[in-house]
Structure 1
Amino acid sequence: MSRRTSAALVLCCAVAGVALAGCDEAPDADSAPPASTSFTGTEKIKVGDRSVNVSCSGDPVDGHPVVVLLHGGGDGLDKLAALQKSLAGKDRVCSYDRLGAGASDQPDGPQTFESTGKVLTAVVDRVAGDQPVVLAGHSLGGLIAARYSPDHQDRVKGLVLMDATSPTQTADLRAGIPDSATGTAAELRAQTLTVLQGEGPEKLAAPDSDVRSAGNIPVEVIQHGKPYLAAVPEYGPALERAWAEGQKKWLAISSHSSLTTATGSEHYIYLDQPDLAVQAIRRVVLQATPVR
């Protein structure tokens, strides 16, 4: 695969993250979830009539939030396995496949912000009980975490956004690659806009939206440092600039947020620089842990 084609495909996956999982008829978690939240390994939980695949590692640490990892578009929890294993040495860490991804059921209709939040709530209830959580998301997972947190400040006490999809991704893409574009760039534009409208494998669709505040929780935003989008013919530099601006926009989610650049990484920061991702998540966990 050429570097040019690879960049186009990765951008499609990255911007797929602007959409959020769930179903128009939003599923509800089972009324009587299992009492124990301390399972280790993988387990299927029911959310309405759908089955969601969940993986957990590590033991609960007194006072520490549970870490919940959210994968990017086109991925599954298996992609996060090494990161989860590294973090589990000091904390309880869980991940899950969204509907339409990995070993979870397919969605039974279009997916929305509200319904994907209900799926995430069911996962959090199962793996953390009444304990707080830190959400750490990559690309699509970062967008989900950032959209979810303002409405769940009672549970979400910290965020790590790893190259999260821009909150204005559709507008960014339309400005970066105009209607007059041809060739690879035009194909990329059309394919990505189609995904943003809900035609992707997860049936995800979401409009651009302003960033809402989640209060003063600790937030670390990490952006890629290797300009892989520059490989897109003619419009690559503009796409890179728009992506960087999108990362800055996420800082508005908290009065206690910071932005760093993973200089050795393309889009998959937690694979290219795993130590950097682990350190960022652990910092947020410690900042979100009440002082005793």
Structure 2
Amino acid sequence: MRIPILNPLQPPCSPLPSQPGIRLYSRPSRSLELTLPLFQLPLTLSLNSAGFALRINGSCLPEQVDCGATVNPFRVCCPGGTQCPHAYNVACCPSEANCTSTLLESPRCADRSWDLYDNNGYFCCDKDTTGFARLGNSDGCAVPGYSFHEDDKLLSVVLSAEGMISQASPTGPSMSTSSGITPGISATMAPISTPTLDTESQEETNDRGHVAGSVVGGIVGVGIISGLVWFLIARRNKSRELDEDSDSSPQPEILEGHVVEIDGGRPPVELGANEKQAAPVELPSEPLGRERVNGLLDSFKCLVSIGSHRLFLEVRGIVRTPGEPLVVFLVGAGDVAASYRAVERLISPFTSLVLYDRSGLGRSDDGPRPPSAATAAEELHQLLIVADLHPPLILVGHSYGGIIAREYLHAYPESVAGMVLADASTERQPELFRNPDLDIPAVLGNLRFAQVTGLRDAARLTRDEWRTRAAHIARGSTTERAEGLAFADVCQSLARKNQYHSQALGERPLSVICCRGVDDYRRIYEAGVRAGNGTEPQRVAFRDLLERWEAMGDEMQRDQLQLSAVHRYVSLADCGHHIHLIRPGVLAQEIQWVKERIETGPERGKI
């Protein structure tokens, strides 16, 4: 099927208030002639305003721009007056546009008092620190007195602080010179700062609101690192895989603690050797979409009329080529598109994606019909038609959004090329939760969900992004309650479709991610009991829920593998239910995996 670049339609589309760097249109035009200031590359770069960023242990200086965390407490810093690009923070640029490719023509640090190093990717260290590499392709800046490990290798300065020493590449046997990896763009992360707590009533309302709708957890492991050295983990294992480190995870060895399994009695697609052995996924060598970051990026946001009412729609990422999948996010109960900023930052350089708010949520109008998963799937289909967004689709369903994704698959099977189910609700969910379940809010009391569970501190959103998310969620509280009340009927409706038995996805790729939502609720229980909340019968009922969840959660997530013969299972031991906020890199990684299987698998070209 041809994927049109120019939009022949003129769907009713109400403009939204303008935001800096984004041009909004009266209709969602996809013309190649349009340019977007947010993504335009500067024609010239001043040597005083652009360069590679500094890795620092602790906080950036007051006069510097904080580009976000790498491994807590380490940061990436740029000089004042520069900006961190939207999708990367290895470089300091004159504007939001990514200037990395231009810097590669004349590599330099953004501040001339820093030393430039190259470990298959440029980075800068303060002149009082030393750049080094470790086996496994980690690199960083060691402060004076740091005790080097036996596998550490000192790196040579590519360009000294005074600009007097210049080398084509660092020397030493530990340095790789593979031409398959472009220096300066590897091991990058989204420019995210960890939000701090505040006491706005909107946020408090939403923290409690997210108690309903959480789902099932999985298995295993945490890695910890500390000391006097900054580590930028960038395992350059395969040239086309996703950079997990770009989610700014506080545990750099985290993937050694989450298990990726190739399951089932049916033959899977041909996978890499490590995957065949069910080994932990290795951190890849380069950032998402490195080969395409200089291409035209497509972006618009507006309210689109689907006839009965309007839905908020946002399209981001690259302009699609014919047959290229479109990633569509289906959010959980009461959640909104604004929750997915961290994921969007990671995947927009390599794919086209759709974020939208369901009827009655976020910026969308209330719908004329009571909410249900089947209705949501139908309205999404109409939205994509009106906006001229065509299959093939990769559906990414989180929590309740997983049920909507499967309803969409049932109604429009030929449109779906692959699927990611992220800690998704299933037809068996009523075996765990009663709806409404009054025991959970009784034990939670006046405590704030996001604080008790640690979600607020762990979320990879900026402070402004968190506040925007909170405001949008507050607007949809009525719809969230309605979705919760209809949940049992929705699950029964899905169960009647027998998608497991029919293997509804066939050989189209499926990734199932299992998180530890049960840990979120255990923290709620413990904090609530300490606060004296809930009666003893309510506490007993809450404990019974936790026991059922531990016993059944992993099994219920694994059930979904029956949807496809081509699948893999990711189990995270250190991630609560809200993976898109806490571990966006893992979610982006699985989207990348599904996309690659579509592009190379037997289903390519059939849609």
Determine if the TM-score, normalized by the shorter chain, exceeds 0.5: yes
The one-letter amino acid of 1:154's match is E
Query: 1:45 corresponds to which residue?
Result: 304
Asked if 1:217 is matched to 2:527, the reply is: no
Shift of 1:135: 0.7
Paired residue type of 2:521: L
1:71-220 aligned within 5 A: 71-126=331-386, 129-174=389-434, 184=442, 200-201=479-480, 203-204=482-483, 205=486, 206-208=490-492, 209-210=494-495, 211-212=498-499, 213-220=504-511
User: What CA distance in whole angstroms lies between the structure 2 residues aligned with 1:64 and 1:202?
Assistant: 37
Letter in 2 for 1:41: F
Would you tell me which structure has more helix in proportion to its own residues?
Answer: 1
Q: Which of 550, 554, 557 is the matching residue for 1:240?
A: 550
Mapped partners of 1:183, 1:54: distance in 2: 32
> Which runs of 5 or more structure 2 residues have no equivalent in the other structure?
1-196, 198-205, 216-296, 446-477, 526-541
Gaps of 5+ in 1: 16-37, 188-198
How far has the Cα of 1:126 moved from its partner? 4.4
Offset at residue 223 of structure 1 (A): 0.9
1:26-77 CA-to-partner distances (Å, cap 9, x unmatched) read: xxxxxxxxxxxx9612111111221000011112343420111111112110
Instruction: Give 1:214 shift.
Output: 2.5
Secondary structure (helix, strand or coil) at the match of 2:401 reads helix
Q: Please state whether the residue corresponding to 1:289 is helix, strand or coil.
A: helix
Amino acid at match of 2:553: W
Amino acid at match of 1:288: I
SS in 2 for 1:13: coil
% identity of equivalent residues? 22
Q: Which residue of 1 aligns with 2:313?
A: 54
For residues 380 and 364 of structure 2, what CA distance do their matches in structure 1 show?
13
1:192 paired residue number: none
List per-residue Cα deviations over 1:235-266 (Å, max 9, x = no partner).
Answer: 21322333323212222221222221122210
The letter of the residue matching 2:314 is S
Task: Tell me the SS of whatever aligns to 2:364.
Answer: coil
C-alpha contact 2:575 2:583 (8 A) present in aligned 1: yes
Contact 2:298 2:317 in 1 (8 A): no
2:391 touches 2:416 (CA, 8 Å); kept in 1? no
Q: 1:82 to 1:41 in 2, by over 3 A?
A: farther
Task: Tell me whether 48-57 or 225-234 shows the greater mean CA deviation.
Answer: 225-234
| Alpha-carbon separation, structure 1, partners of 2:383 and 2:441 | 42
TM norm structure 1: 0.75
Paired positions, count: 252
Asked whether the 8 Å contact 2:374–2:407 carries over to 1, the reply is no
For the aligned residue pairs, the C-alpha RMSD in angstroms reads 3.1
1-structure distance, mates of 2:337, 2:318 = 19
**Aligned residue in 1 for 2:200:** none
Task: Kindly indicate whether the alpha-carbon contact (under 8 Å) linking 1:107 and 1:202 is maintained by their aligned counterparts in 2.
Answer: no
d(CA) in 2 for partners of 1:229, 1:278: 25
CA distance in 2, matches of 1:78, 1:129: 20
2:583 is the counterpart of 1:273: yes
Separation in 2, partners of 1:183, 1:270: 24
Larger Rg: 2
